[in-house]
Structure formats: C-alpha cells, structure tokens
Amino acid sequence: MIADNRRVSGQTLSAVDDGDARLDRECPHLYFVACAHNPLARPFRLALAGVTEVTFGRGPEPSVVADPAARSVAVALNDPWTSSAHARLVRGADGWEIVDAGSKNGTIVPAG
C-alpha cells in the first residue's frame, strides 16, 4: 500500500497490497515519465492491480495517495498547467477511459 503523501521517484509503486508481487509485474501500469514544470524529475510507475479509478490534480509536491478500500489512487503533480482537479482515469468493462474533471487547460489524449 502507498502511504499518505508518499513522495515518489524512480520506483514502482503498488496501490493495493495483495501480497502477490507477480500480479504487480503482470498487471497494467501507469507510467509517469516527464513533468513539463520539472523535466529532471525521476520517472516512476504505478501498478494498477485492483485499482478502479486514478484521479489527477495539482499539489505542492508530487505524491500518490492510495485508498485500498475505495480501490482508488489520487496522484498530485507539481505542475502549473495541472488543475487542482484535472482528470480521472476510470477502469470500465472495455478498458481504461480518461475523463476531464473540469480542468482549466483540458485533457488531451493523442490518437493512435
């Protein structure tokens, strides 16, 4: 499980601790590779095993907060182009869908 306001860098995080490390390797992952405001920030990835929703917003520092009971993760990015409530990544029957949460700058997903 990810501790509240855990600072992240250069590692793989698991949102739901089910005790099966193999599952974390084989499940979908969300990769954080670059931040426009801080291009030298270290990348990390988030194992999405057991997660049904990921919310994204702006925070004073990058952090990941998991709520295993709700099967959700809140990701804070320290980026001036990110709204405090920016977007949601939601798992559905047909896969993952990104939904804009009323952000000022919008949420764009490139085709392809």
Phi, psi values for residue 76, rounded to 5°: -105, 135
Asked whether residue 81 carries a pLDDT value surpassing 50, the answer given is: yes
Residue 93 maps to a domain:
yes
Asked whether residue 25 carries a pLDDT value surpassing 90, the answer given is: no
Residue 70 maps to a domain:
yes
Q: Note the pTM of the prediction, 2 decimals.
A: 0.74
Strands, E assignment, the chain:
12-14, 29-32, 44-47, 53-58, 63-67, 72-77, 87-92, 95-100
- Rounded CA-CA distance 55/75 in Å is 6
State residue 5's pLDDT score. 38
Residue 109 maps to a domain:
no
pLDDT band at 7 (very low <50, low <70, confident <90, very high): very low
Residue 53 maps to a domain:
yes
Residue 2 maps to a domain:
no
Residue 108 maps to a domain:
no
Domain count within the chain: 1
- Please write the tens of the pLDDT for every residue from 91-108: 998 888 999 998 888 888
Domain span at residue 23 reads: 12-100
Residue 80 maps to a domain:
yes
Residue 86 maps to a domain:
yes
